[in-house]
A and B are shown apart, each in its own frame.
Chain A
Amino acid sequence: MRNFIERHTFWAIVLLLVVVLFLWMIFAVWPDWLVEAFGRKKTFVNTLLNGVTLGGLYFLVASGFTLIFGLMRNVNLAHGSMYLLGAYIGYEVADRTGNWFLGLAVAFLAVAISGVLLQVLIFRRMANDDLRQTLVTIGISIIAADAMLAIWTGTTYQFSPPDWLFGAADLPIISVIKSSGAAVYIKYPVFRLVVLAIAVAVGIGLWIFLNRTRIGMMIRAGVNDREMLAATGVNVQLVFVLVFAIGAGLAGFAGVIGGTALSVAPGEDIRYLLASLVVVIVGGLGSITGAAVGALIIGLAEQFGLAYFPTYGVVLTFLIMVVVLAVRPQGLMGGRG
């Protein structure tokens, strides 16, 4: 952080000013000219919060994707299918047992196991052939999408999480002051804030796991030099299986979270695959921090695009990707080119 400020003082100041401006726009009561320029404050704050929470969800999905790529150089294009599979399994379990948390846990475990199977049965056979691995994941995602359509049909499913997770909370942010002088506070769905909290918790958990544990050390070593790690006597295949399990499990986990915050339907797999792709392209492939930064940027861009220029929202996301690729092909946080 200090390094960044010393090296790019100008950009650090710009960034600081933007943050201050945003904070002011969030907490101040908007003067009339600003309302005229931007619309109501409520829209702005809601869009901002939606963007940040969507970014949290994207981070949950993309972190597994980038973790798997970082170690195994394996672009898992079936990641979106894993997300959807997790959502459906979580829904079935939560629906039958009536326990949402059980659904979450089972989705994580089941998808993690499917990831382990993929790694052991297929990817291990074609190590060091990344294009073929990618083609295989495409084949798997075609079959998985069709199988899921056959089992769960085209219906949209809606989770029913515990009541205390639903509903709206008053945020300590004043939207407008009525003529009577009473302040109107902004309401926001609790569950979306929970999504954000979970994303932050998972992010911190992953950071601690990778940077402060022995297995995490092995994984980081594997990212840098797989052969040397194997030469020091570590069972690399076991580390691979573990990372694949965590990465896939996170996708399933995100499936239940995302399915609860939004809904579960066929086609979501492509949507979240696109999100993961763009997030890791922008953030830098293989970097957890990059996934966090990318997810935040893409989440915000998508929501602001949706709110302020509806038909061109996708283009905004795409433009960000193109600009990043043009300026920094390895992604914002990508170390190696």
Chain B
Amino acid sequence: MDSRRLFSGSFSLKNIHPSVLITAVFLVAYPSFATDFFIFQIGAYSLILGTIALSLMMLAGYGGMVSLAQLTVAGLAAYLMAILGDNSMGVMGLGWPWWLTVIVSVLGAALFSTFIGAVSVRTEGIYTIMITLAVAVAFFYFVRQNYVLFNGFTGFAGVEPPTLFGVYWRDPVPFYYLSLVVAVGFFAAVSYCARSTFGLGLQAIRDNPRRMRALGYNVTLHRIVAYFFSGIVAGVGGVLLVWFNGRVSPGTVGVDVAIDILVIAVVGGMRHPIGPFLGAIAFVLLENFAIDLIDRERFNMVIGAAFLLVVLFSPDGLLGLWNRVRDRLRFRGNAQLSAERVNKDDPASSGSLEKS
């Protein structure tokens, strides 16, 4: 997956790795052979969760800032959709046109994310995770207690996507394609962003903030802008999430769900934007089919154990596991080439997770 070549201008069909083509064909053709359950509950849901986790991956993988508040940002967008748009609860529901609601919700979420960033980037490293966790928990308790604006414990229901071009967008197939377009769009944007001046600056700040400050970079501003961008990604994820569920309640933004997003990003791998999507697919499959193996009640135990195993034994997630297996296979054939490839091709291999 060589995004550098893809966006450097000298792009031709020959440069695309066959696995990318296969994945693309599979993703587009998926609804033609899958059942509605697999399209909607597995496909679309994985893409939505992957998008939200992508916003975390962007912050943590490129910026070295592990934020537990990404789901909270998405949740705020979801709540704004219900408050500004229509809902069936009789609380709020200002009835704005859908396009305005979406824009304002996403921007509101991005501003909230910027605010979280501004609060948390003043401190370094491990504080971020604590402050963002505190924000996430506080937001959860706030929406649960507040009945005037957020309708308290019940939350909102009946939040629907608009019917546009004669298509009801909550039907499995249209909704799947909508999620796919959003997910692929952000995937490409993040891949591109990582190679832009801003992205490179952000990664350099992750690795050595002091040196970057000495070089004249505004470290704080870079980090806050990263929070703004990730807020947009998370916000759009939140809009899709509320359309997917049709409802939003304090349970949607609960701490356990916020941690699930972290689990998805860590299990998938934080080195490459494809990681969160891999993690999301694994998570959703496990969530839906773990019932067959164990008690439904003990699902968290499985998730927790999987997460713990990944953190303990493969800190860079499934992606890292795959890379290592591949490298080992190649190593047998051609040790020299493999070593070269790792050095040249993978500048993020001494990544953020060790450093923070």
Interface set of A (CB-CB < 8 Å, partner B): 73, 75, 77, 122, 129-132, 134-136, 138-140, 142-143, 145-147, 149-150, 270, 273-274, 277-278, 280-281, 285, 310-315, 317-318, 321-322, 325-326, 329-330
Contacts and interface: CB of A to CB of B under 8 A. Distances in A.
A146 B126 contact: no
B178 to A, nearest CB: 31
B131 interface: yes
Interface string B44-67: 000000000000000000000010
Residue from B125, B127, B298, B305 whose CB has the most chain A CB atoms within 10 Å:
B127
A310 B145 contact: yes
A281 B133 CA distance: 12
Interface stretch (B33-41, B162-170, B273-281, B308-316): B308-316
B91 interface: no
Given A142-B304, A311-B145, A277 B133 contact: yes
Describe A's contact surface by its main secondary structure: helix
B221 interface: no
Nearest to B266: A135
B335 interface: no
Given A139-B304, A310-B145, 6 more contacts: A75-B129, A131-B356, A139-B308, A285-B127, A311-B147, A315-B142
Residue from B134, B145, B307, B308 whose CB has the most chain A CB atoms within 10 Å:
B134
B145 A136 contact: no
In the complex, the 6 A-B pairs of residues with the closest C-beta atoms, listed nearest first:
A142-B304, A139-B308, A143-B304, A146-B300, A274-B137, A318-B138
Contacts of B266: 135
B301 A147 contact: yes
A146 B146 contact: no
Contact of B297 (A138, A150, A274): A150
B312 A143 contact: no
Contacts of B298: 146, 150
A314 B145 contact: yes
Interface string B118-146: 01101101110111011101100110011
Nearest to A145: B300
Interface residues of B, number: 43
Contacts of B308: 136, 139-140, 143
A281 B123 CA distance: 10
Given A138-B262, A142-B303, A130 B356 contact: yes
A131 B146 contact: no
B232 interface: no
Given A130-B125, A136-B308, A317-B138, A270 B255 contact: yes
Contacts of B125: 130-131
A311 B134 contact: no
25 contacts: A75-B129, A122-B312, A129-B354, A130-B125, A130-B126, A135-B262, A136-B308, A139-B305, A139-B308, A143-B300, A143-B308, A145-B300, A149-B297, A277-B130, A277-B137, A281-B130, A281-B131, A285-B127, A312-B142, A314-B138, A315-B138, A318-B134, A326-B119, A326-B122, A329-B123
B103 interface: no
B225 interface: no
